[in-house]
Amino acid sequence: MSKNKKSNAVQTRVRISDQMHKCIDLMILEGLPLPLAAERADITRDTAVKNMRKPHVLQLFNQKVREVRENAAQAAYIRMSHLAVSSDSERIGLDANRWLAGVDGIAPVQKVQGSYSINHTFGGFVYPDLEPDDVMPVGDD
């Protein structure tokens, strides 16, 4: 057989419904389990399960998961950057900026703290050795 002849195999395109696309996106992007994603995509759970067993649907699902995983670090950085400038809470903005600085290799300012310790010791009372005073009256013998 010559190389110029086409093979007899015919490639067919397989279509995935818009609802199934939506179901897959909900599972991947929002982390929904299949039954909830199917419900929100307006298909039955059984239809979604049956479709997920098909090789081309599973291939699409795995491809989208791979894309999300490959871009997760960049997406997290972008979200933190947005949070750092748009947060209403100063504490959240501060934490986001610290995280960004750490990722970018910028060392945070170290808190300088000194501690002082002063010890006072009490040695007790010191009484001098005095000669006892004579309390006997003088001249009354």
For the segment 48-64, what is each residue's pLDDT rounded down to a tens digit?
999 999 999 999 999 99
Query: What is the predicted pLDDT for the residue at 108?
Result: 63
Mean pLDDT of 78-83: 88
pLDDT-derived band at 43, boundaries 50, 70, 90:
very high
Rounded Cα distance, 57 and 63, in Å: 10
Q: Contact, 83 vs 93, CB < 8 A?
A: yes
Task: Identify which of 72, 92, 69 has the alpha carbon closest to the alpha carbon of residue 82.
Answer: 92
Query: What is the predicted pLDDT for the residue at 68?
Result: 87
Rounded Cα distance, 104 and 97, in Å: 10
Rounded Cα distance, 79 and 36, in Å: 26
Q: Contact, 16 vs 60, CB < 8 A?
A: yes
- The answer on pLDDT for 5 being more than 80 is no
Model pLDDT for residues 95-127, shown as the tens digit of each residue: 888 888 887 777 666 676 778 788 878 777 777
Query: What is the predicted pLDDT for the residue at 104?
Result: 77
pLDDT-derived band at 1, boundaries 50, 70, 90:
very low
Q: Contact, 76 vs 68, CB < 8 A?
A: no
Rounded Cα distance, 62 and 47, in Å: 19
pLDDT-derived band at 44, boundaries 50, 70, 90:
very high
Query: If you average pLDDT over every residue of the chain, what do you get?
Result: 82
Share of the chain above pLDDT 90, in %: 33
φ/ψ (deg, to 5) at 137: -65, 145
